[in-house]
Structure 1
Amino acid sequence: MINIIPVTTKKQRAEFIDFPHDLYMGDSNYVPELFMAQDDLLNPDKHPFYKNSSAQLFLAYKDKKIVGRIAAIWNNVYNQYYNVSEGQFGFFDCINDQEVADKLFDTAVEWVKSKGGNKIFGPVNPSTNETCGMLIEGFDLPPMAMMPYNRPYYNELADNYGFTKQVDLRAYLVRSENANLRSVTLLDKLEERLKRSGIILRQIDLKNFTQEADKIKKVYNKAWDKNLGFVPMSDEEFAYVAKDLKMVVDPKYCILAEKENEIVGFAVGIPNINEVLIKIKRGRLFPFGIFKLLFGRKKIKTLRVMMLGVLEGYRKMGIEACLYGRIIKNAQASGIQSAECSWMLDHNYMMNHAIEQINGELYKKYRIYEKQI
């Protein structure tokens, strides 16, 4: 007998967060999410996403044991932005049992229908501004920072339920030993040419982080406006994300392109904190996880370039190449062995080609699924 129970208590929310730890026990590629961060993300009283939107968490029980979880999501901002009535699902984890998966998906679908939705897509956790996508290729390595992970059978569960591909998201790996250093070699010349147009490149100023983040937000909300599923972040949401990123940002990998004191492009790379988190049992920092986090950060050898955006009027001027060039140059000097560039839309040919030009290897793919309801 399978029972689907809505999460209504703090204890149930903790069980919702902890379920993947049991499901993936013994999986060497699984990286536990930090409990505190997940608890905040799923708490309507704490995370700004819920100021304008809503979600309901569900747990699946079989023989009194938790065997799956899912969140049904109604993103009002997304629906208003695109003038649609669509819901999402996220935080999907499940044992390899089609009946359990079907009941979880059915529950999310019925919840979205109750809101007036005629379509559901996901996984988004809880939006494309957080982790999203279901891993469909590249199961042999752990995920990089702020990227999802799942077992291969998840895709069969989704396909068998009737979900179809909406879009695939790409992750490229650039290895230091075979990276094309043309962008680094030409960096001085390219930057000199940009200077003649009044554009300079510089590292982010962490001492004035709030002001810097505010400038970046304006570019972010404009540069991504044609990406699938994109919704402009509110001031509160961006401040929330920026606060979290500040804890891991290294200025060497956060490069801004500026003209007349206004940011026209930026790239954000973060040390791959998953190298440390993978060793923190059940995502608990206390009592000993905090020491692993503090001491482990100095030994990180991989990097994730998670954002690169240039305003439309400044594209094809060489800014993108300079942003990548700066990050590659700084990463090599710091002993970084490889960097992931993610995620890219499958049909973003310009950006995909740019990464392939520096010998980026397409090594992971994630899928957003959809279904008319």
Structure 2
Amino acid sequence: MIEVRKVQDKKDLKKFIDFPHELYANDENYVPELFLAQKDLLDKKSHPFFQHSEADFFLAYDNAQIVGRVAAVKNNNYLEYTGDQSGKFGFFDVIEKYEVAEALLDTVAEWQKERGLTKLAGPENYSTNETCGTLIEGFDSPPTIMMPYNMPYYKEFLEEYGFEKDMDLLSYKILTKDVPDKLIRMSDKILERLNGKGITIRKINLKKFSEEIDKIIQIYNSAWEKNWGFVPMTDAEFKHAAKDMKQIVDPDFVLIAEHNGNPIGFTLSIPDMNIPLKKLKRGRLLPFGIFKLLYHKKDIDRVRIVTLGIVEGYRKLGIDAYFYMKAFEEAKRKGMNFGEASWILENNEMMNKAIENINGKVYKKHRLFKKAI
């Protein structure tokens, strides 16, 4: 008999965070999430998401054993911004037993219907601004930083429940050796042309981090405002995420474009910290995990291009090409073998074409699902 219980206290929350470690114990590609980061993300008292929206977390039990987890999410900012009456599900993990998945999803559907919502969509760990999507292709390698990973049977379970495809998210692999040298040489010419139009591109100044983040927020919410599934981040949400990001960013991989001093574009790439994180037992930094993390940073051989955005009116000037070229020029200079550009909406023709032009190949796909309830 499957029983689904709501997470009630800190003890339950710890079980919720730790369940994937049990589920993927024998999976060589699994990378544990940092316990402290997950605890922060799920904290209803301190995380800024809960200033405007709500979520509850659930665990499925078979007798006394935990066999699955899920979150029910009502993102009020998304509902207001899009008009789409979709409740979200996220943090979905389950053993290979369909009735467990069904019990968890039934619980989320009822939770959403009680709040007047008519559709269920996801998985999204609050929104598309956070980790989202179910991996449907590319199970032969570990995920890069801040990208989800799951068992192959998740797609089958979601479809059996009645979900259908909403959107695919593409991840491209670009080997640094495959990026044409002529493209890298072109970067100086592109920059010269941009400078002639009053556009400058520079690295982020970490000494003025707070001021830089204020500029980047403007770009982020403007550049993505018309993207499918997007909801603007509040200043509190963006700054909360940026605070954690500051610990791992390399300023050589964060570029800001400005036109006559006004921010118009930025790109963020991150050395793939999942490589050292893979060595941490159950995502714990203490007592000795921090030393493993620092030791294995030397093994990082790839970078993930996390975000690249340009505000409308500046998108066909070559800024995106310059951002990509500089990312791979830096990756090559630092001895990295490849970069991952992820994720890209399958219907974003301009961005997909730009990556294909530097010999990027799709090597992973994640899917977002939808269902009437």
In which range does the TM-score fall when normalised by the shorter chain?
Answer: over 0.9
Q: Please tell me whether residue 97 in structure 1 is matched to residue 97 in structure 2.
A: yes
Q: Does 2:310 match 1:331?
A: no
Residue 127 of structure 1 deviates from its aligned partner by 1.2
Deviations along 1:225-248, whole A, 9 cap, x unmatched? 111221111110000011111111
Percent identical among aligned pairs is: 51
Q: Which residue of 2 aligns with 1:73?
A: 73
Structure 1 moving runs of 4+ over 3 Å = none
**Equivalent residue, structure 1, for 2:125:** 125
- CA–CA separation in structure 1 for the residues paired with 2:200 and 2:326: 12
Aligned to 1:145: 145
Matched, 1:321 2:321: yes
Q: Which moved more, 1:160-169 or 1:319-328?
A: 319-328
Distance 1:256 1:324 in 2: 13
Aligned match of 1:29: 29
Contact 1:137 1:365 in 2 (8 A): yes
Number of paired residues?
Answer: 373
- The code of the aligned residue for 1:4 comes to V
Partner secondary structure for residue 103 of structure 2: helix
1:29 Cα deviation (Å)? 0.3
Q: CA deviation at 1:328?
A: 1.2
Which amino acid letter does the alignment assign opposite residue 30 of structure 2? Y
- How far apart in 2 are the matches of 1:345 and 1:43? 29
Farther off after superposition, 318-327 or 289-298 = 289-298
* Partner residue in 1 for 2:267: 267
Shift of 1:129: 0.8
**Alignment RMSD (CA, Å):** 0.9
Report the CA distance between 1:179 and its aligned residue: 2.1
Q: CA deviation at 1:296?
A: 2.2
Aligned to 1:46: 46
The answer as to 2:189 corresponding to 1:189 is: yes
CA contact (8 A) 1:276 1:292 kept: yes
Give the match's secondary structure for 2:313.
helix
C-alpha distance in 1 between matches for 2:191 and 2:361 = 26
> Which stretch shifts more, 100-109 or 256-265?
256-265
Look up the SS of the partner of 1:57 in the other structure.
strand
Contact 1:255 1:327 (8 Å CA) reproduced: no
Counterpart CA distance in 1 for 2:325 and 2:67 is 46
Q: How much has 1:182 moved relative to structure 2? A: 3.5
Equivalence for 2:201: 201
Counterpart of 1:312 in 2: which secondary structure?
coil
**Counterpart of 2:323 in structure 1: which amino acid?**
L
| 1:166 alignment counterpart | 166
Residue 13 of structure 1: aligned partner: 13
Deviation at 1:181, TM superposition (A): 3.5
Q: Distance in 2 between matches of 1:327 and 1:262?
A: 22
Which structure 1 residue ranges, 5 or more long, are not aligned? none
Aligned-pair CA distance for 1:71? 0.3
- 3-state secondary structure, aligned to 1:61: strand
**Other-structure match for 1:307:** 307
- Residue 255 of structure 1 pairs with residue 255 of structure 2: yes
Bigger mean CA offset, 109-118 vs 256-265: 256-265
Q: Whole-Å Cα distance in 2 between the matches of residues 26 and 86 of structure 1? A: 35
* Superposition deviation, residue 295 in structure 1: 2.5
Map of 1:280 onto structure 2: 280
Q: CA deviation at 1:134?
A: 0.2
Q: SS where residue 125 of structure 1 aligns?
A: coil
Q: Secondary structure at the match of 1:26?
A: coil
Would the aligned equivalents of 1:85 and 1:117 in 2 still touch at CA under 8 Å?
yes
How far does the alpha carbon of each residue in 1:144-171 deviate from its partner, in whole angstroms, 9 at most, with x for none? 0000000101111101000000000000
What amino acid sits opposite 2:79 in the alignment? N
2: CA distance, partners of 1:67 / 1:34: 21
Residue 260 of structure 1 deviates from its aligned partner by 1.9
Structure 1 residue 85 displacement after superposition: 2.4
Question: 1:165, 1:142 → 2: CA distance?
Answer: 24
Q: Deviations over 1:40-88 (max 9, x none)?
A: 1011111101110000100000021000000000000000111232200
CA deviation string 1:276-308 (max 9, x = no partner): 111100000000111112232233111000000
CA shift digits 1:323-372 (9 cap, x unpaired)? 11111111111111110000000111110011011011100000000001
**Aligned position for 2:372:** 372
Any idea what the Cα deviations from partners look like across 1:233-278, whole Å, max 9, x if unmatched? 1110000011111111101111111122221111100010000111
Name the counterpart of 1:244. Answer: 244
Distance (Å, rounded) in 1 between the aligned partners of 2:24 and 2:327? 34
Greater displacement, 172-181 / 144-153: 172-181
Residue in 2 aligned with 1:290?
Answer: 290
CA distance in 2, matches of 1:179, 1:11: 49
Q: Give SS of 2:55's match.
A: strand
CA distance in 1, matches of 2:76, 2:313: 30
> 1:247 aligns to what SS in structure 2?
coil
- Aligned with 1:55: secondary structure? strand
User: Contact 1:49–1:237 at 8 Å: present in 2 too?
Assistant: yes
* 1:107 alignment counterpart: 107
Residue type of the alignment partner of 1:206: L
Instruction: Give the stretch that moved more between structures: 76-85 or 8-17.
Output: 76-85
Whether the aligned pair in 2 keeps the contact of 1:303 and 1:339 (CA below 8 Å) is yes
The CA distance in 1 between the partners of 2:84 and 2:269, in whole Å, is 33
